Structure 1
Amino acid sequence: MGRVVRALVRPWVVGAAVVAVVGVGFGLYWFQPWKLWQDKTVQEALPGTVDAAKSPGAAPSGESSASAPARPVTLAGGELISHEHATSGTVRLVRLADGSHVVRLENLDTSNGPDLRVWLTDAPVKEGRAGWRVFDDGQHISLGELKGNKGSQNYVVPGDVDPARFNSVTIWCDRFDVSFGAAELART
């Protein structure tokens, strides 16, 4: 009888071990907990300001100083508030000299996480837990993956999108459908 019991227990133990290993592997993939201890800092200059900084006071070749290129203009901005994770920094909606638009995150400081995106949305920014999940209820445009959880970075608004239709920006965790932090865009 002892052999029968051992023969029955062995497949059950092996099966349980396989299920446990698969479960741990899936949990690690899904939650990516190591990102909580990994920071990625990105420092990008605002597009359209680098060329002018190369030679202060000098117009680009072939142009007179009277026809110097237009500078970027801030159309709206706001302070990031924390939602699911502590988040701080500022957000600006900027029209560049060529008429295109970028969302600029400045002095961003948030947690790293899986599948973080920068969204331009029409949702109101709400404090606390009430604001964690509102941004996918209405219209939103994903401007791409978050480049880094710290620093200053730019996100191009697609040319066919009217940025005036949107009034907030969120750092959105697409994996768990939750906002890490968000900012109301106050028009300037």
Structure 2
Amino acid sequence: MSRGNVSKKWVITIIAGVAAVGLVVAAALFQPWLLFVDVEVDEALPAVETAEPSAAPMPTVTPSPEPAAPVQLSVGELISHEHETTGTVRIIENPDGSRVLTLENLSTSNGPDVHVWLAETPVVPGFDGWFLADDAGYVDLGTIKGNLGNQVYEIPADVDLGAYPSVYLWCAQFAVSFGAASVA
């Protein structure tokens, strides 16, 4: 065997090795299999009472110190950004004063490192809104539990909800919004 053939074989082996390592790194980074895997979550959602208007005058009653049932503080509908996203977002205060954010009937794409954020940035529809959530302050409520279904996230007691009018499903790995809802 000539020296030229040995050199070519080494070059081809090195190129093949670098390509294989590159594919493994790309697969680990982009996780393309997530596009084909759905994770459905069906957590129990707090039952929020809705009061029907009454024609009869309400008797005067001394209000109790805390409500008997969870109270809806705000609600919004998710809009799509980078990925088709639908569902309802509710912020609910429980009788004990704790607050939760619910994602109801969520449907979005699965993806790597997607988080639920309360954000200072307003929701902007279309491409212009894809990259805004991390332009200002936000509170990370955790990694999304699944891309389908009903989910509940605790909101820390020290969070001023008035400062965060939006909820984003934010892919931290690629710094892009999957979808968002205004809850102001």
The answer to whether the superposition gives a TM-score over 0.5 is yes
Matches within 5 A, 1:1-188: 3-47=2-46, 70-186=68-184
Q: Distance in 1 between matches of 2:158 and 2:90?
A: 19
Look up the match of 2:59. none
CA apart distance, 1:164: 2.1
Name stretches of at least 5 consecutive residues in structure 2 with no aligned partner.
48-63
Counterpart residue type for residue 130 of structure 1: D
Q: Distance in 2 between matches of 1:123 and 1:172?
A: 12
Look up the match of 1:59. none
CA apart distance, 1:181: 0.3
Q: Distance in 1 between matches of 2:31 and 2:94?
A: 36
Q: CA RMSD in A?
A: 1.7
- Once the two structures are superposed, residues 59-80 of structure 1 have per-residue CA deviations (whole angstroms, 9 ceiling, x without a partner) of xxxxxxx999721111111000
* Residues 19 and 152 of structure 1: CA distance in aligned 2, closer, same or farther (over 3 Å): same
Q: Distance in 1 between matches of 2:69 and 2:106?
A: 23
CA apart distance, 1:4: 1.3
Identity %: 49
Q: Distance in 2 between matches of 1:68 and 1:19?
A: 64
Q: Distance in 2 between matches of 1:105 and 1:154?
A: 6
CA apart distance, 1:165: 1.4
Counterpart residue type for residue 164 of structure 1: G
Counterpart residue type for residue 33 of structure 2: W
Q: Distance in 2 between matches of 1:37 and 1:5?
A: 46
- Once the two structures are superposed, residues 133-169 of structure 1 have per-residue CA deviations (whole angstroms, 9 ceiling, x without a partner) of 0000001011001001000111111122122211000
- TM-score, normalised to structure 2, is 0.87
Name stretches of at least 5 consecutive residues in structure 1 with no aligned partner.
50-65
CA apart distance, 1:7: 1.6
Counterpart residue type for residue 32 of structure 1: Q
- TM-score, normalised to structure 1, is 0.85
Counterpart residue type for residue 165 of structure 1: A
CA apart distance, 1:46: 2.4
CA apart distance, 1:98: 1.0
* Residues 177 and 81 of structure 1: CA distance in aligned 2, closer, same or farther (over 3 Å): same
Q: Distance in 2 between matches of 1:7 and 1:160?
A: 68
